[in-house]
Structure 1
């Protein structure tokens, strides 16, 4: 507005009690707008009483005034005022209920104006019932009365429930139809009479002597030698030639349980003989089926073993094949074994499939592909074992396994084995199996006591040079682990330049390169094998003297599996681990508690790390997600990794699973 457009009026008006002159400012307007502006200014020139009479009064206030007028009193006692206010609220509710839906205007003002007026007059009343508020207050007081430990346990329980499996391990048709099996599979095997008549106290004493923890209903008795398990003498002789004279603790309880047809969760430290505990039953069942009625073209399999990696599947296949050949030489029927893994041509296996086969050893990806292409069916399969079951689920194969379950047409016996079986996986397995028996040798996730664990602080730039010094600790063979594939290749190249016979294996290698590395290392042609996590899952190498963790794994489970390549079958071994400032403090705390549990020497820099939870090792039960003792479920690295994979849309780990 320009100064020339304003003029001051010299007229004065008397405005109520406020005497004195008041000046009006008026825009100079064209003649055709003059009448309109005069009407606007006339509104402000009206008396205050007239303006007040025309002022908008909210509906609620008008109703209250009307009630006060009817009662004939301008001021009411508090009790009556509250009562009238309640009546006005009821009237307001009834009027709003009779309002036409979608109409914006009502009375002298719209709904939006009423809401604005209510906001101006003060905060809105809570629409929640008093009973709900009271219940929340009681829960809050109850929560505040809990100790910090109880609050932490409650929080961890909620997190575990949120990440628990949403559905059990069963086929889609079984879940859709609501099919539930209540009784385990019946088999023809029975323990000898003198063992069946053994008292529960004596069985308990034998389990205690062998450090076996067991849980379940109608538990089969423990048997401490192979002959009493009714295993053929030719198999016992073959095992003797491999220096396996007596069963290990996991075999003492695991074999009778599997022979009896019971679902089972087997947990034992690395190198304890888990492979034999689930391989012998499937071989015996297959021999029994073949003897009863020979398999012909297109029939089979009787049982199936699923492994997370190609190398582990091939190792299991070769072990089963050797036992079957020993039985065949002794006059038992021929048992067909099919290896179904990625990286090999299935044309090589066509001969086995052409005449019927009894056992399949497979990785999830290739097995699912073969079933979808109907190369064979699971119509008569009644034995399923998952080796390293928790690792398989961690690597993203859970959906593949569920899809595979959909090809079963009848009830099956299910066995899950691993060295590390966290509570989350155990709970998931127990709801999926039928009256399962849990056989536990030692704490799940604990390191073998036959391994001497050494942890050394080595700067990142000094690792490669110090590696040569560590190789002097023992004679070959030695395995070196790193979680970085490029670092694996760099270490191998450095060792070759220094004259060390070394091979490398990781998920990005071709199948031929991986098989060559395994064979040359097992045969003794190569002294050192540099590997990623692909070689840590169940592989059994002869006489490994030393394991070096060039990089400390983020998850303590991976550490347990990696050092478990030595100290197997009762022999001792050494595990050296490099750590430095790049290693997470939480991982170091997990490692510290693991060393304390195994009664190993704890270096000063590890001993100086304090647990923020302020709890002693004896009072810790471990993270239910990964089993680590140095952290709770909130700080679990596996939980964080799983969330990262789900966000990124990954379904596999690092390519080491070998689906194709």
Structure 2
């Protein structure tokens, strides 16, 4: 019986064709064999002489290949011997040779440029919704205001001639024309009457250009020296915008505000609020125009006292950042229809101290707004940051940003620390009261006040650690003339306007020159003249003294001999006329690389990070 099991047939083994004619496959041929084949080919071309030349040609080729191999071997050996340290040394020597060709000024400018570039990475001011949705406004808000036809018909040359007359510098696109008279700005007659009653008959340079720009709905960066009338320049446009909204359709409870003014201190906010209330009252006096409601929103006071304002339509809010954020979070009012945002002393408002608060406030806006930034000191860094955050802004500059008021006579005296108190009494004899004395130290403020009271001088004190009632009492009694002298910290130096101040004494020179400019600016306001006496000694940083020296020189003031003898690394630049202010603080005596303001900001930032890392802060 034949077996049913059959052997399963195996698949045949693959056959590899080594000599398969494939264009992509080339068999390996040894070098010696290739040389012989080349010689064989050459030998078939001709006679023996041709064979000899072919042999020689081949030998030359071989020699060249050998030389190339030897060169590659030599390079490889040198590459292995070369270390990273040697390369670094060569780079360093090359850089040192390039640096040796540069002057000290060029090196300093390069360092400053690098630091400034690093600071430009700040996120621009915008609401969270706008940033999240990528909303970018490209055109300014539309305004119904137009200049009179006879001003519109003037040529650009005539506009520029008027700006040159008042030393007004402008930058931007389609800049509205300057207007030399309040009546031509189409301001209501009741406000004009009130201004005339206060002997304000013509606009100051910042008002002459700033008010038409703001009336046109444009974003503006306004820079002018202390006491130049900036408050009217940004309050009046807001009053007119609120008046227009109220006359179109009256606001009812829960509606508003139309606009907001942010201030860095309670005292400045209170002063601005008083001005706005006065102007609104004069507008509604004859019953021709409606009453506009303003709210003061600052810490230290009870908001219940202003509940009668919140129960009506709200037109204008004047606020400090902390209390404003609290009111917005509690939804006491909203920014749903807010179209106007002004920051007074804007360099402080959007600098490191308040920047997070301002961003928080921005997040409550729902629509496009007109933004106005005003200050006497607006360093380049803040200007650049503002230019990126605003919409086609117009820069209006009356004088150099950070320059001192030319109506103030600056006297700098060297007084030893232990002799300051005694010499203070002598300085008070220079002019009749009222007098303001500034000190950077809160304890020193209290010590000066106590000393003056013991000597029979009617003095009040104000600083950040005082209660709001104490601060209000000090301001009120000093403004009314009940007290002759006010001793203050930097809290009273920003924007506050006191009548007839003839003399300011700076007991301790502030480290930042911006603060000095604001402090001496409490006198010499509204065209009047005043004196500022400053005490300096060995405790005053040399950097600050250099800033002070150049500020005096710029204002044409007398420079004391002890300031002239200070070692000055920027003297060569000053002689060439190429000296520029520090882009962070505006000081002329130093660059950004050794700016005291930047150092303090970085120190505070590091301290806050350290506190956060340690889980502290509360």
Q: TM-score, normalised by structure 2?
A: 0.84
Q: Is the 8 A contact 2:352 2:601 kept in 1?
A: no
Which residue number in structure 2 is paired with residue 270 of structure 1?
A: 226
Q: Is the 8 A contact 2:105 2:573 kept in 1?
A: no
Q: Deviation at 1:148? A: 3.3
Q: Is the 8 A contact 1:269 1:441 kept in 2?
A: yes
Q: Is the 8 A contact 2:228 2:525 kept in 1?
A: yes
Which residue number in structure 2 is paired with residue 113 of structure 1?
A: none
Unaligned runs of 5+ in 1: 1-75, 90-117, 652-660
Q: Measure, in 1, the Cα distance between the counterparts of 2:476 and 2:375.
A: 24
Deviations 1:344-397 (A, max 9, x none): 111112111111211010001111111111111101000000000102234611
Which residue number in structure 1 is paired with residue 321 of structure 2?
A: 364
Q: Deviation at 1:167? A: 1.1
Superposed, which structure 2 residues align to 1:426-437 within 5 Å?
426-437=383-394
| 2:177 counterpart of 1:218 | no
Q: Deviation at 1:479? A: 0.1
Q: Is the 8 A contact 1:219 1:257 kept in 2?
A: yes
Q: Measure, in 1, the Cα distance between the counterparts of 2:90 and 2:135.
A: 43
Secondary structure of 1:615's counterpart equals: helix
Q: Deviation at 1:411? A: 0.4
| 2:585 counterpart of 1:626 | yes
Which residue number in structure 2 is paired with residue 541 of structure 1?
A: 498
The verdict on how the C-alpha distance between 1:216 and 1:139 changes in structure 2, with shifts beyond 3 A counting, is farther
Q: Is the 8 A contact 1:165 1:428 kept in 2?
A: no
| 2:257 counterpart of 1:301 | yes
Between 292-301 and 392-401, report the one with greater CA deviation: 392-401
Secondary structure of 1:649's counterpart equals: helix
Q: Measure, in 1, the Cα distance between the counterparts of 2:502 and 2:121.
A: 40
Q: Measure, in 1, the Cα distance between the counterparts of 2:436 and 2:209.
A: 32
Q: Measure, in 2, the Cα distance between the counterparts of 1:317 and 1:650.
A: 36
Q: Deviation at 1:155? A: 1.5
Deviations 1:497-544 (A, max 9, x none): 000000000000000000000000000000000000000000000000
Q: Is the 8 A contact 2:376 2:401 kept in 1?
A: yes
Superposed, which structure 2 residues align to 1:195-206 within 5 Å?
195-206=151-162
Q: Deviation at 1:144? A: 5.5
The verdict on how the C-alpha distance between 1:380 and 1:134 changes in structure 2, with shifts beyond 3 A counting, is farther
Q: Is the 8 A contact 2:325 2:360 kept in 1?
A: yes
Between 270-279 and 233-242, report the one with greater CA deviation: 233-242
The verdict on how the C-alpha distance between 1:82 and 1:513 changes in structure 2, with shifts beyond 3 A counting, is same
Q: Measure, in 2, the Cα distance between the counterparts of 1:610 and 1:215.
A: 37
Q: Measure, in 1, the Cα distance between the counterparts of 2:76 and 2:547.
A: 66
Q: Deviation at 1:150? A: 2.6
The verdict on how the C-alpha distance between 1:136 and 1:454 changes in structure 2, with shifts beyond 3 A counting, is closer
Q: Is the 8 A contact 2:403 2:517 kept in 1?
A: yes
Q: TM-score, normalised by structure 1?
A: 0.79
**Equivalent in 579, 586, 599 of residue 640 of structure 1:** 599
| 2:330 counterpart of 1:386 | no
Secondary structure of 1:298's counterpart equals: coil
Secondary structure of 2:350's counterpart equals: helix
The verdict on how the C-alpha distance between 1:87 and 1:228 changes in structure 2, with shifts beyond 3 A counting, is closer
Q: Is the 8 A contact 2:256 2:313 kept in 1?
A: yes
Q: Measure, in 2, the Cα distance between the counterparts of 1:421 and 1:253.
A: 18
Which residue number in structure 1 is paired with residue 13 of structure 2?
A: none
Unaligned runs of 5+ in 2: 1-64, 611-618
Q: CA RMSD in A?
A: 2.5
Q: Is the 8 A contact 1:622 1:629 kept in 2?
A: yes
Which residue number in structure 2 is paired with residue 166 of structure 1?
A: 122
Q: Measure, in 2, the Cα distance between the counterparts of 1:158 and 1:525.
A: 53
Which residue number in structure 2 is paired with residue 603 of structure 1?
A: 560
The verdict on how the C-alpha distance between 1:484 and 1:87 changes in structure 2, with shifts beyond 3 A counting, is closer
Q: Is the 8 A contact 2:261 2:342 kept in 1?
A: yes
